[in-house]
Amino acid sequence: MERAGKLITFEGPDGSGKSTQVQLTARALQEGGYSVLVTREPGGTRLSEAIRGLLLDPCYQEMSPVTEALLYAGARAQLISEVILPALAEGKIVLCDRFVDSSFAYQGYGRGLSLDLLHLINQFALTKLGNFYTILLDLPPKEGLDRSKEEILRDRLEQESLEFHQRVRDGYHALARSSPGRIKVIDASLEPEVVQKQILEYVSAYLLDQDQGYPF
Ligand code: TMP
């Protein structure tokens, strides 16, 4: 039987183990017979990866929050039209390392941009995308930053203050409270195997249609 494609996004602070968990989830789903596509934001297409380079390069300290939000949305629009929509049409399970909630958390709660405006910009970017589902790996920012790269290797966003990263985390919590059906929160300080088990429980419910996912 042909399975419908579905999008699952993974969110969380830098250093939350997100990318590892995305890979583990992909492997588990493939072993379960699903056709899986893994991608990331910002990035995932030639153009979106070029935009990623601009966004994360610490040399662009002058980038305004609005420019930043538009570039993230631009990279997202390209990824959706070039990769995500075609994969969903082929019945694939798409796992995306970060997605639109990162814009609300970082540009909205972190930078202080209006959530309504971010919604508007992203509605434009997400045109034609149906329901999706989100796993949020939660971790105190200090723990995440300590776990991530050495200070000198940090990208433009990772170099932001601890206060900025605390606002991002609070923002993620607020998003999870306002979309409890779509966003499932998991404590990322637990052992990676425990985190993976919890992810697979949520993801299975979504894939087995016990949970329909939610529109943006
Ligand atoms: P990462 O892919 O290594 O997680 O790096 C991406 C960085 O970009 C991370 O610090 C979060 C940030 N980001 C935003 O600020 N807004 C967004 O919309 C996205 C997708 C990422």
Distance CA 145, CA 61 (A): 20
The C-alpha atoms of residue 109 and residue 96 are separated, in whole angstroms, by 21
Residue ID of nearest Cα to ligand 1 atom 15: 106
Domain ranges of the chain: 6-207
Best of 11, 38, 106, 154 to mutate for ligand 1, by most ligand atoms within 8 A of CB? 106
Q: Is 46 exposed, middle or buried (0-12, 13-18, 19+ CB in 10 A)?
A: exposed
pLDDT digits (tens, 9 = 90+) for 36-60: 999 999 999 999 999 999 999 999 9
Residue % of the chain over a pLDDT of 70: 97
State the CB neighbour count (10 A cutoff) for residue 169: 20
Write the CATH number of the domain with boundaries 6-207. 3.40.50.300
Q: Which residue has the tokens 């994360």?
A: 56
Q: Which of 68, 102, 111 to mutate to test the pocket of ligand 1 (most atoms within 8 A of CB)?
A: 102
pLDDT at 190 over 90: yes
124: closest CA among 182, 73, 175? Answer: 73
Where does the pLDDT of residue 95 fall: very low under 50, low under 70, confident under 90, or very high at 90 and above?
A: very high
Cα–ligand 1 centroid distance for 97 (angstroms): 9
Polymer length in residues for the chain: 216
Q: Is the predicted pLDDT of residue 70 greater than 90, yes or no? A: yes
Please report the pLDDT score of residue 26 as a whole number.
98
Whether residue 148 has pLDDT greater than 80: no
Query: Residues 78-91: what's their mean pLDDT?
Result: 97
Distances, alpha carbon 5 to alpha carbons 29, 122, 146, 210, in Å: 13, 21, 36, 15
Q: Phi/psi class of residue 164: alpha, beta or left (left: φ > 0; alpha: ψ in -120 to 50)?
A: alpha
Instruction: Spell out which residues line ligand 1, taking CB within 6 angstroms.
Output: 14, 40-42, 72, 98, 102-103, 106-107, 157-158
**CA-atom Rg of the chain in angstroms:** 16
Q: Is the pLDDT of residue 99 over 90?
A: yes
- Would you state the pLDDT for residue 2? 59
pLDDT number for residue 139:
95
Ligand 1 closest atom vs CA 106: 15
Closest Cα to atom 1 of ligand 1: 14
Asked if 123 and 73 count as a contact pair (C-beta separation under 8 A), the reply is: no
Q: How high is the pLDDT of residue 147?
A: 80
Q: Average pLDDT, whole number, for the chain?
A: 93
Average the pLDDT over 76-87 and give the result: 97
**CB 78 within 8 Å of CB 48:** yes
Give whole-number Cα distances, 117 to 17, 50, 121, in Å.
Answer: 30, 24, 6
Contact, 60 vs 159, CB < 8 A?
no
Q: What is the mean pLDDT of residues 170-184?
A: 96
Q: Tell me the whole-structure pTM to 2 decimals.
A: 0.95
Would you state the pLDDT for residue 154? 87
